[in-house]
């Protein structure tokens, strides 16, 4: 906390070229980006379907996207709870998602609060 993670990510976002921004952000720290129609929130439990929702949709429209996962530990916990699976299984889902989104030219930024 207080180390400038959000500021750094916003600076990084402003330097990237993207058509669509997806925010998995429980604290709504990137709310200023949602004023644009090119940004939308995605809940932790929606990440399982994110490959179809994000990757394939962007591929079909030939657009570039960015997915921000704010607080990876919280996201894993919520994914585990909502899907009633182990944290280990939730990590595998996120790993698979990351491997595949790369194929669709989706940049993923993950912010970790705990290491």
Distance separating alpha carbons of residues 5 and 53, to the nearest angstrom: 27
Over residues 24-58, the pLDDT tens digits come to 888 788 888 888 888 888 888 788 777 777 877 88
pLDDT at residue 115 tops 70: no
pTM of the model: 0.84
Q: What crossing angle do the helices spanning 72-83 and 87-103 adopt, rounded to 10°?
A: 110
What residues make up the domain containing 66? 5-111
Over residues 66-85, the pLDDT tens digits come to 999 988 898 899 889 988 99
List beta partners, residue 41: 23
- Which pLDDT band, with edges at 50, 70 and 90, does 1 fall under? low
Domains in the chain, number: 1
């Amino acid at each position: 906390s207080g180390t400038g993670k959000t500021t750094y990510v916003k600076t990084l976002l402003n330097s990237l070229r993207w058509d669509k921004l997806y925010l998995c952000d429980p604290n709504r720290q990137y709310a200023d980006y949602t004023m644009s129609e090119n940004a939308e929130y995605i809940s932790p439990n929606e990440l399982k379907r994110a490959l179809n929702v994000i990757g394939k949709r962007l591929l079909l429209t030939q657009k570039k996207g960015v997915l921000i996962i704010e607080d990876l530990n919280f996201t894993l916990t919520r994914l585990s709870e909502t899907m009633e699976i182990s944290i280990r299984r939730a990590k595998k889902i996120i790993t698979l998602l990351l491997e595949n989104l790369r194929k669709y030219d989706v940049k993923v930024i993950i912010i970790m609060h705990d290491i």
